[in-house]
C-alpha cells in the first residue's frame, strides 16, 4: 500500500514528474496518476484503444492534441459527436476561435454573430466557412456512391483536408475509424438533409457503423477505453467492447457524478455489473475538467512511452 508523501516543488519540474508525485498526494491527484499508469499499461500490452470525447473538447485547444495522439499511434478508434467534427473542419479551413469569459452578455454576443461554448467563442462566419467547404465534399461523395456508412463519409472528408492538426485528417491518413453515433445532430445534419432533398437516393446507413464497430474488435483481443466526458460517445464505445467480451482497461475522465444514475456519470464499478468492464480490469475514474486533467495525464504517458520507443515518430 502506497503512503501519502509530502509534495514539494523543485525548479524545472516536468509535467511527468509532477504526475509522478501525484501517486503519493492522494485525493483526485492519485486517481490521475493511476489513470496515467493504466494508459501506459494498455499501450504496452498492445490493447486496442478507443478514445471518446465530447464536442466541447474539440472547441477547445485539445483538438490538435487529439490529432497528435492519432499521429503518435496511441489511438485505434475514435467516437465523438458531430458538433466537434464540424469545428474540426472549420479549424482545418483556417477559422479561429476566441477565448472569452463564462459570464457574457449573451444577447450582445448574438447580435455580433458570436456563439458561446463556455468561455470559447465561435463566429457565425466559421459556420459559413464550414458550409462552403462541406457542400462540395458531400456532392463528390454522392457521386462516388449513394449509401454511406458514417465512418466512411467522415474518412472521406478527412481525406480532403490538409491540416496536420485536424482530427479527421489524421484519422483518415492513419486509417483510424471515427464513429459518430448521432451523425445528424448538428449543422452537418442539415447539409445531409439538403443533399437528400436533391438526391433522394442518398442514404447515411448508421447500421453499417454498428457492424464496423462490432467487427473491429474480437473476443480475444485486449481492449482499452479512454472516455473523456460522457454521452453517446462514451456509451457507443463501451457497447462495442461489451459485445466483444468487455474492456480490459478503462479510464473515465469526467465532471459528471454517479448519483443520478446517468451513463455519463456511471463509474467503472457500475460498468462491471454489465460486463462492460471485466472484473479484473485496470479501471479508474478521474473527476475533473478534462481540459486540465487530460493534457496532464498524457504528458506523463507520452513521456514514458516515447522513452520506451512505443510511439510513432
Enumerate the active-site residues.
276
Q: Which of 73, 93, 120, 123 binds a second copy (CB under 8 A)?
A: 120
In the bound state with a second copy, the residue whose beta carbon lies nearer, of 156 and 264, is 264
Cα 54 to Cα 290: distance, rounded to the nearest angstrom: 10
In the bound state with a second copy, the residue whose beta carbon lies nearer, of 64 and 224, is 64
Does position 199 interact with a second copy (CB under 8 A)? The reply is no
**Cell digits for 80?**
465523438
Cα 62 to Cα 65: distance, rounded to the nearest angstrom: 5
Q: Which of 236, 247, 248, 251 binds a second copy (CB under 8 A)?
A: 236
Please answer whether residues 161 and 67 qualify as being in contact, where contact means their C-beta atoms are separated by less than 8 angstroms: no
Least spacing, CB of residue 35 vs a second copy, in Å = 11
Q: Which of 35, 51, 138, 192 binds a second copy (CB under 8 A)?
A: 192
Does position 177 interact with a second copy (CB under 8 A)? The reply is no
Chain positions 156 to 175 lying near a second copy, rule: CB under 8 A, are: 165
200: phi then psi, degrees, rounded to nearest 5: -60, -20
Least spacing, CB of residue 273 vs a second copy, in Å = 4
Does position 219 interact with a second copy (CB under 8 A)? The reply is no
Report the greatest alpha carbon distance in the chain: 66
Stretch that binds a second copy, among 42-50, 132-140, 169-177, 291-299 (CB under 8 A): 291-299
Does position 249 interact with a second copy (CB under 8 A)? The reply is no
Angle at 286 between CA 292 and CA 240, to 5 degrees: 110
Does position 38 interact with a second copy (CB under 8 A)? The reply is no
238: number of CA atoms within 13 Å, CB side? 26
Paired sense of beta strands 77-79 and 178-179, if any: parallel
In the bound state with a second copy, the residue whose beta carbon lies nearer, of 135 and 193, is 193
Does position 91 interact with a second copy (CB under 8 A)? The reply is yes
Stretch that binds a second copy, among 13-21, 35-43, 137-145, 217-225 (CB under 8 A): 13-21
Q: Which of 39, 49, 89, 114 binds a second copy (CB under 8 A)?
A: 114
Cα 246 to Cα 242: distance, rounded to the nearest angstrom: 4
Does position 313 interact with a second copy (CB under 8 A)? The reply is no
Least spacing, CB of residue 182 vs a second copy, in Å = 4
Alpha helices in 46-123 (DSSP H): 55-59, 62-71, 82-92, 106-111
Q: Which of 44, 45, 96, 136 binds a second copy (CB under 8 A)?
A: 96
Does position 9 interact with a second copy (CB under 8 A)? The reply is yes
As a dihedral over the C-alpha atoms of residue 25, residue 26, residue 27, residue 28, rounded to 10 degrees, the angle is: 70
Q: Which of 184, 221, 245, 310 binds a second copy (CB under 8 A)?
A: 184
Please answer whether residues 134 and 89 qualify as being in contact, where contact means their C-beta atoms are separated by less than 8 angstroms: yes
Binding mask 259-288 for a second copy (x = CB under 8 A): xxxxxxxx--xxxxxxx---x-------xx
Cα 157 to Cα 182: distance, rounded to the nearest angstrom: 17
Does position 198 interact with a second copy (CB under 8 A)? The reply is no
How is 241-308 classified by DSSP, letter by letter?
HHTTT-EEEEEEEES--GGG--TTT--HHHHHHHTSEEEEEEEEEEES-HHHHHHHHHHHHHHHHHHT
Cα 119 to Cα 224: distance, rounded to the nearest angstrom: 32
Q: Which of 20, 24, 216, 245 binds a second copy (CB under 8 A)?
A: 24
Please answer whether residues 62 and 294 qualify as being in contact, where contact means their C-beta atoms are separated by less than 8 angstroms: yes
Amino acid at each position: 500500500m502506497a503512503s501519502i508523501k509530502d509534495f514539494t516543488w523543485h525548479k524545472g519540474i516536468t509535467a511527468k514528474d509532477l504526475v509522478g508525485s501525484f501517486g503519493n498526494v492522494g485525493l483526485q491527484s492519485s486517481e490521475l496518476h493511476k489513470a496515467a499508469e493504466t494508459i501506459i499499461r494498455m499501450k504496452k500490452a498492445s490493447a486496442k484503444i478507443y478514445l471518446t470525447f465530447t464536442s466541447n473538447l474539440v472547441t477547445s485547444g485539445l483538438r490538435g492534441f487529439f490529432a497528435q495522439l492519432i499521429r503518435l499511434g496511441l489511438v485505434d478508434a475514435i467516437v465523438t459527436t458531430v458538433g466537434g467534427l464540424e469545428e474540426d473542419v472549420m479549424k482545418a479551413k483556417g477559422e479561429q476561435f476566441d477565448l472569452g469569459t463564462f459570464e457574457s452578455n449573451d444577447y450582445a454576443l448574438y447580435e455580433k454573430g458570436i456563439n458561446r461554448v463556455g468561455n470559447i467563442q465561435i463566429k457565425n462566419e466559421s459556420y459559413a466557412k464550414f458550409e462552403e467547404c462541406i457542400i462540395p465534399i458531400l456532392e463528390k461523395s454522392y457521386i462516388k456512391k449513394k449509401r454511406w456508412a458514417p465512418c466512411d463519409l467522415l474518412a472521406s472528408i478527412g481525406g480532403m483536408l490538409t491540416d496536420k492538426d485536424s482530427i479527421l485528417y489524421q484519422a483518415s491518413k492513419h486509417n483510424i475509424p471515427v464513429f459518430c453515433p448521432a451523425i445528424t445532430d448538428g449543422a452537418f445534419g442539415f447539409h445531409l438533409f439538403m443533399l437528400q432533398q436533391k438526391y433522394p437516393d442518398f442514404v447515411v446507413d448508421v447500421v453499417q457503423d454498428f457492424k464496423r464497430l462490432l467487427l473491429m474488435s474480437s473476443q480475444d483481443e485486449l481492449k482499452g477505453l479512454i472516455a473523456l466526458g460522457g454521452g453517446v460517445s462514451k456509451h457507443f464505445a463501451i457497447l462495442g467492447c461489451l459485445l466483444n467480451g468487455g474492456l480490459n482497461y478503462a479510464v473515465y475522465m469526467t465532471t459528471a457524478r454517479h448519483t443520478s444514475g446517468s451513463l455519463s456519470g456511471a463509474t467503472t464499478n457500475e460498468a462491471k455489473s454489465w460486463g462492460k468492464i471485466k472484473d479484473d480490469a485496470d479501471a479508474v475514474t478521474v473527476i475533473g475538467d478534462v481540459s486540465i486533467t487530460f493534457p496532464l495525464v498524457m504528458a506523463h504517458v507520452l513521456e514514458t512511452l516515447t522513452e520506451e520507443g512505443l510511439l510513432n515518430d
